[in-house]
Amino acid sequence: MSFHAIVLAAGRGTRMNSALPKVLHTVGGRPMLDHVLGLAQSSGAQCHVVLGHGAEVVQRWLRQREGAMPQTVVQAEQLGTAHAVQQALPGIPDEAPVLVLYGDVPLIPAQTLAALVESARDGLTLVTVKLPNPTGYGRILRSFGRVFGIVEENDASTQQKAINEINTGLLAAPAGSLKRWIAQVRNDNAKGEFYLTDIVALAVAEGIEVKTVEASDAEAVEGVNDRLQLARAERLFQRRQAEALMRSGVQLADPTRFDLRGELNVGQDVFIDVGVVIEGVVTLGDRVRIGPYSVLRNVSLGAGSEVLSHSVLEGLIAGTACRIGPFSRVRPESVFDDQVHIGNFVEVKKGRLGRATKAGHLAYVGDAKVGADVNISAGVITCNYDGANKHETVIGDGAFIGSDSQLVAPVSIGDGAFIAAGSTITQTAPADQLSICRARGQKTVPGWKRPTKK
Ligand code: UD1
Ligand code: MG
Q: Which domains does the chain have, with CATH numbers?
A: 4-221 (3.90.550.10), 249-435 (2.160.10.10)
Residue nearest to atom 21 of ligand 1 (CA): 81
Amino acid at 424: T
Residue nearest to atom 13 of ligand 1 (CA): 169
Give residue 332's pLDDT: 98
Alpha-helical segments (H) within 215-291:
227-247
Gap from CA of 81 to ligand 2 centroid (Å) = 10
Higher pLDDT, 18 or 440: 18
Q: Which helix (H) or strand (E) holds 34?
A: helix 32-42
Residue nearest to atom 36 of ligand 1 (CA): 81
pLDDT in tens, 242-299: 999 999 999 999 999 999 999 999 999 999 999 999 999 999 999 999 999 999 999 9
pLDDT in tens, 193-218: 999 999 999 999 999 989 999 998 89
Using the Cα atoms of residue 184, residue 187, residue 189 and residue 195 in order, give the sign of their dihedral.
Answer: positive
pTM above 0.85, yes or no: yes
pLDDT in tens, 294-347: 999 999 999 999 999 999 999 999 999 999 999 999 999 999 999 999 999 999
pLDDT at 431 over 90: yes
Region 67-81: mean pLDDT is: 95
pLDDT in tens, 97-145: 999 999 999 999 999 999 999 999 999 999 999 999 999 999 999 999 9
Instruction: Using most ligand atoms within 8 A of CB, pick from 18, 23, 75, 81 the residue to mutate for ligand 1.
Output: 81
The reply to whether ligand 1 has any atom less than 6 angstroms from the CB of 54 is no
Gap from CA of 145 to ligand 1 centroid (Å) = 25
The reply to whether ligand 1 has any atom less than 6 angstroms from the CB of 194 is no
Give residue 441's pLDDT: 79
| 108 in Cβ contact with 223 (< 8 Å) | no
Alpha carbon distances (Å) from 13 to 20, 230, 302: 9, 12, 44
Determine the Cα–Cα distance for residues 426 and 316; give it in Å rounded to an integer: 28
Mean pLDDT of the chain: 96
DSSP state of 440: -
First to last CA, the chain: 96
| 383 in Cβ contact with 365 (< 8 Å) | no
Ligand 1 atom nearest 12 alpha carbon: 26
Determine the Cα–Cα distance for residues 194 and 79; give it in Å rounded to an integer: 6
Give every CB contact of residue 114 below 8 A, 6+ residues apart in sequence.
Answer: 43
Q: How many CA atoms lie within 13 A of 38 on its CB side?
A: 14
Residue nearest to atom 39 of ligand 1 (CA): 137
Region 147-169: mean pLDDT is: 97
Gap from CA of 223 to ligand 2 centroid (Å) = 6
Amino acid at 20: L
The reply to whether ligand 1 has any atom less than 6 angstroms from the CB of 167 is yes
Using the Cα atoms of residue 367, residue 372, residue 374 and residue 379 in order, give the sign of their dihedral.
Answer: positive
Give residue 451's pLDDT: 87
Amino acid at 275: G
Give every CB contact of residue 183 below 8 A, 6+ residues apart in sequence.
Answer: none
**12 pLDDT band (50/70/90 cuts)?**
confident
The reply to whether ligand 1 has any atom less than 6 angstroms from the CB of 169 is yes
Give residue 333's pLDDT: 98
Give every CB contact of residue 216 below 8 A, 6+ residues apart in sequence.
Answer: 109, 111, 112
* Shortest-distance ligand to the CA of residue 13: 1
Region 2-11: mean pLDDT is: 95
Ligand 1 atom nearest 196 alpha carbon: 15
Give residue 351's pLDDT: 98
Give residue 286's pLDDT: 98
The reply to whether ligand 1 has any atom less than 6 angstroms from the CB of 166 is yes
Ligand 1 atom nearest 198 alpha carbon: 8
Gap from CA of 411 to ligand 2 centroid (Å) = 62
Alpha carbon distances (Å) from 283 to 4, 248, 259, 312, 314: 35, 14, 15, 15, 12
Strands 393-395 and 411-413: parallel
Gap from CA of 308 to ligand 1 centroid (Å) = 47
pLDDT at 442 over 90: no
Higher pLDDT, 92 or 445: 92
Give residue 318's pLDDT: 99
pLDDT at 157 over 90: yes
**443 pLDDT band (50/70/90 cuts)?**
confident
Alpha carbon distances (Å) from 257 to 27, 249, 294: 16, 17, 12
Give residue 233's pLDDT: 97
User: For residue 310, which of 288, 293, 330, 331 has the smallest C-alpha distance?
Assistant: 293
**2 pLDDT band (50/70/90 cuts)?**
confident
Higher pLDDT, 30 or 443: 30
Q: What are phi and psi of 128, to 5 degrees?
A: -125, 170
Gap from CA of 164 to ligand 2 centroid (Å) = 17
**1 pLDDT band (50/70/90 cuts)?**
low
* Shortest-distance ligand to the CA of residue 10: 1
Catalytic residue among 53, 310, 361, 391: 361
pLDDT at 239 over 90: yes
The reply to whether ligand 1 has any atom less than 6 angstroms from the CB of 81 is yes
Residue 25 bears catalytic tag: no
Q: What is the 3-state secondary structure (H, E, C) of 58-69?
A: HHHHHHHCCCCC
* Shortest-distance ligand to the CA of residue 222: 1
User: For residue 405, which of 442, 363, 443, 439 has the smallest C-alpha distance?
Assistant: 363
Residue nearest to atom 17 of ligand 1 (CA): 10
The reply to whether ligand 1 has any atom less than 6 angstroms from the CB of 73 is no
Region 152-177: mean pLDDT is: 97
The alpha carbon of residue 281 and the mean position of all alpha carbons in its chain are separated, in whole angstroms, by 10
Determine the Cα–Cα distance for residues 173 and 437; give it in Å rounded to an integer: 80
Give residue 27's pLDDT: 98
| 381 in Cβ contact with 362 (< 8 Å) | no
Determine the Cα–Cα distance for residues 405 and 11; give it in Å rounded to an integer: 59
The reply to whether ligand 1 has any atom less than 6 angstroms from the CB of 138 is yes
- Rg of the chain over Cα atoms, rounded to whole angstroms, equals 31
Region 378-393: mean pLDDT is: 97
